[in-house]
A and B are shown apart, each in its own frame.
Chain A
């Protein structure tokens, strides 16, 4: 069965520092991969997605993610974090015949001034 692991529950970075959030997935074939962000009291917003092709994908708000098949990873990165990036980030995989997303437990990002 498909699964998603986000090993970091909570990460704190300083404003202006770089960020990398980790995501590992379990799926036999090439998956469709997503990163969503959830601000407090809000629903989830799509940051970026990987379907095929270039393994480095660009998203909104200056985020990017790299698909590494050999490591079963899809880590999210941002070169310089802004205070408004404080939120919870969810990685998800869609690879089943039912086409349903499987989400990780999320990583909460705090940003220090």
Chain B
């Protein structure tokens, strides 16, 4: 399998549930990202991992908990979510984190559509 794979593609959960989103990249990249895509809003960067170390957390509520056990896998653990958290969650990877003289060319997965009831 190639590229960036996200599972599950669709998830429905209640506000008291605990679930996880999984992302796997087969590109040999060193950086991985979680983005949130809501209707009529720009993509929001949630978390950035570089070489398995979290380097950015964009003021994301603690009910979202990322985990990066190795450079190929990224998880987003979800608990006690709110209906406004319903969105498409996109995982992406890049060769390196970028910045400075480097540039970020992101490869995205197909996303996990989350609905919170």
Shortest Cβ distance from B11 into chain A, in angstroms? 14
Q: Which one of B40, B99, B102, B107 contacts A46 once the chains associate, using CB atoms below 8 Å?
A: B107
Interface size class of A (residues with CB under 8 A): 20 to 34
Asked if B98 and A99 sit within 8 Å, CB to CB, the answer is yes
**A-B pairs with CB below 8 Å: how many?**
64
Shortest Cβ distance from A87 into chain B, in angstroms? 13
Set of chain B residues within 8 Å of A106, measured between Cβ atoms: 42
State the interface size on chain B (CB cutoff 8 A).
26
A residues neighboring B (CB under 8 Å)? 4, 32, 34, 36, 41-46, 49, 51, 90, 94, 96-106
Q: List 18 A-B contacts (CB under 8 A).
A: A34-B105, A41-B110, A42-B111, A43-B6, A43-B109, A44-B92, A46-B105, A46-B107, A49-B103, A94-B104, A97-B100, A98-B56, A98-B99, A99-B97, A99-B102, A100-B45, A100-B104, A101-B106
